[in-house]
Amino acid sequence: MSQEMPGSAAIAARAGSGGTHADAAAGQAPSDQPARQGDAFENLLHEDRRFPPSEEFAARAVVTGADYAEADADRPAFWARQARELLTWDQDFTQALDWSTPPFAKWFVGGKVNAAYNALDRHVENGLGDRVAIYFEGEPGDTRTYTYAQLTDEVKKAANAFESLGVAKGDRVAVYLPMIPEAVITLLACARIGAVHSVVFGGFSADALRSRIEDAEAKLVVTADGTYRRGKPSALKPAVDDALARDGHTVRNVIVVKRNGQGVDWHEGRDHWWEDTVGAASTQHTAVGHDSEHPLFILYTSGTTGKPKGILHTTGGYLTQTAYTHRAVFDLHPETDVYWCTADVGWVTGHSYVTYAPLINGATQVMYEGTPDSPHQGRWWEIIEKYKVSILYTAPTAIRTFMKWGKDIPAKYDLASIRVLGSVGEPINPEAWMWYREVIGGNNAPIVDTWWQTETGAQMIAPLPGVTATKPGSAQTPLPGIAVDVVDEQGQSVPNGSGGYLVIREPWPAMLRGIWGDPQRFKDTYWSRFENMYFAGDGAKKDDDGDIWLLGRVDDVMNISGHRLSTTEIESALVSHPAVAEAAVVGAADTTTGQAIVAFVILRGDAVDTGDATVQELRNHVGHEIGPIAKPKTILIVPELPKTRSGKIMRRLLKDVAEGRDVGDATTLADNTVMQQIAASLKK
């Protein structure tokens, strides 16, 4: 993995993509970019606009600035207080943090806690059983409402059903579901019985599903016949059948939710309809406390090599930090707020801020199955008006898409209920930030740009909406109890006004506890670049006020519409096609999706280049290997790839081509005519 300093090209990519003085898009530092600190950092990310909270907002805020001081004085004690206040423990812990064997942390040592009990039963016991937990809005327009009492019953039934199929504490359950309430029910049922869920995003292919099922050695798969996508039924079950077609896996049972009614192939003995198993199960189920460090879930995410990493999260620390941040960063008033996070449960945001934190905090939330343009481009705003959503949490790529569609569309709806707006997944450029504030937030709702990762489990850098004067484009300050820094190549903290690498200096409660089955890879990936610091893989800058600006990845990870994909993973998929000899993939700046996948491909000598047909075939092949989200936007067939004398592909030059720039310094190429050959072949 190459991890050079995010240099001027990365900053220029951010600064150049939108037009305003501080405009920023998801720039990615080219991985083979030599370190050039300082030259372009100084003035490009300068932003004078500030939006302090209104007095009224600040006066009612659930968290004040006092949390920063308290956490600074004693970080573990601060988190211990949060753990005891936000969660109900079956057995209290004896030690907040055990960091005696870094990088393996233990939080809330000796404590026992049940995630599902905390998300459900205790609210019912506290008289909140009639409060709405989930307003579900299906893509075709069907709706369902679950109160806390009803959701508790459903989760108890699912827990009984899973146990009756032989799933026990510690077993892994693969989940391949659309955005329907059964997804949340499944995850909480697993947590209840101590089974470890491993959700695979429904947009991933059968192959991707198979490798994740095999890596986690899942015993049960929970899926659906299908879902709806832009008004049409879309299948899920065939991918599960495909993934399980080969022997050698550990899956004994498959539970199938009937969602869109399309026909499915049935494997007698293995397959069970949800309505027959879960539907028939008892609503009596007692939750027992699991050890604070008991594994809660695995979630696969792309790294810099071909094989996705199974990020492991455990119970007590994860629940504490997700609950704290959800309450503090969104200023949650659970009695009155209606919260809507648009993330799919297939990603970490759908775990932390749909499944766990909102329910732990007793919030009422909206869940929507479909796409923003189905059946019309005002669907989201219609949903906000209908349910009086007060907190919206979404990704910059969605905001930029709405900007393209125009402000007349949201203007047709009453969005006055909105009081906090969240952003996550990629850098939000100041132009999109301002649009979000003005058009969606009525110039009134604070925007919280939240930086975090699958690995961090919960938000790490974000303003506190009742405390911080927000600044367009910057995630600003580490949250109370979080020690984030920006360091140079040597690991020294950089002064304000300078850029470098984003690191985390102290353990945090929701931190990943490892990579499933690969402790060495955990150490190598995150803890070897700098001594005693977690290396996040992102470039960042501290501005003159010390506020943090995220500059995109400094490794070979791309961010497409807020989804993480590795260049290597897509290259491997391309070269697995018989016609492909070699492939190089780059993420090129894209005004809507942040980055777009561009692939440069050398065909084998005996392969016939049929132009568009070849390109289409290769795109489909990647879709088949990984999933539709990984299909390159552009595939360019080239005669050669630019390589250094040591054989390393110079992605920086390919990125120049992909972004339509003049090719930069190519003097280190083994064959310096290669770029001319590529240019000539592209002209053709």
3-state secondary structure of 220: strand
Peptide bond into 53 cis (omega under 30): no
Quote the CA–CA distance of 204 and 34 in Å, as a whole number.
35
Which residue among 330, 381, 452, 501 contacts ligand PRX (CB under 6 A)?
Answer: 452
Residue 550 touches ligand PRX, criterion: CB under 6 A: yes
Scanning 16-24, 274-282, 421-429, 621-629 for contacts with ligand PRX by CB under 6 A, the matching segment is: 421-429
Residue 540 touches ligand PRX, criterion: CB under 6 A: no
Which residue among 67, 538, 571, 590 contacts ligand PRX (CB under 6 A)?
Answer: 538
Residue 391's nearest CA partner among 423, 428, 419, 355 is 419
Binding mask 264-303 for ligand PRX (x = CB under 6 A): -------------------------------------x--
What lies within 8 Å, CB to CB, of 404 at 6+ separation is 592
Quote the CA–CA distance of 366 and 245 in Å, as a whole number.
36
Residue 94's nearest CA partner among 255, 235, 291 is 291
Strand 309-314 to strand 295-301: parallel, antiparallel, or no bridges (unpaired)? antiparallel
Residue 564 touches ligand PRX, criterion: CB under 6 A: yes
Hey, which bits of 435-507 come out as E strands?
447-450, 484-487, 499-504
Quote the CA–CA distance of 453 and 455 in Å, as a whole number.
5
Neighbouring-strand partners of residue 602: 582
Q: Least distance (Å) from ligand PRX to the CB of residue 436?
A: 13
Q: Least distance (Å) from ligand PRX to the CB of residue 49?
A: 18
Residue 394 touches ligand PRX, criterion: CB under 6 A: no
Binding mask 191-230 for ligand PRX (x = CB under 6 A): ----------------------------------------
Which residue among 82, 365, 468, 559 contacts ligand PRX (CB under 6 A)?
Answer: 559
Which of 10, 424 has the CB closer to ligand PRX? Answer: 424
Quote the CA–CA distance of 167 and 212 in Å, as a whole number.
18
Q: Least distance (Å) from ligand PRX to the CB of residue 542?
A: 15
For every residue of 93-142, DSSP letters joined together read -SEEEEEEETTEEEEEET-EE-HHIIIIIHHIIIIITTSEEEEEE-TTS-
Peptide bond into 103 cis (omega under 30): yes
Residue 449 touches ligand PRX, criterion: CB under 6 A: yes
Which residue among 153, 426, 543, 590 contacts ligand PRX (CB under 6 A)?
Answer: 426
Which residue among 204, 451, 508, 516 contacts ligand PRX (CB under 6 A)?
Answer: 451
CB 172 within 8 A of CB 196: yes
- In the chain, what is the greatest distance between 2 CA atoms, to the nearest angstrom? 74
Which residue among 53, 372, 427, 457 contacts ligand PRX (CB under 6 A)?
Answer: 427
Which residue among 174, 348, 580, 654 contacts ligand PRX (CB under 6 A)?
Answer: 348
Residue 111 touches ligand PRX, criterion: CB under 6 A: no
Which of 182, 538 has the CB closer to ligand PRX? Answer: 538
Scanning 83-91, 140-148, 479-487, 533-541 for contacts with ligand PRX by CB under 6 A, the matching segment is: 533-541
Scanning 65-73, 232-240, 438-446, 532-540 for contacts with ligand PRX by CB under 6 A, the matching segment is: 532-540
Residue with tokens 């450029």: 429
CB 273 within 8 A of CB 90: no
Residue with tokens 């240099």: 7
Which residue among 18, 53, 537, 642 contacts ligand PRX (CB under 6 A)?
Answer: 537
Residue with tokens 């390159």: 632
Q: Least distance (Å) from ligand PRX to the CB of residue 425?
A: 5
Residues near ligand PRX (CB under 6 A) are 301, 348-349, 424-427, 449-454, 475, 536-538, 550, 553, 559, 564
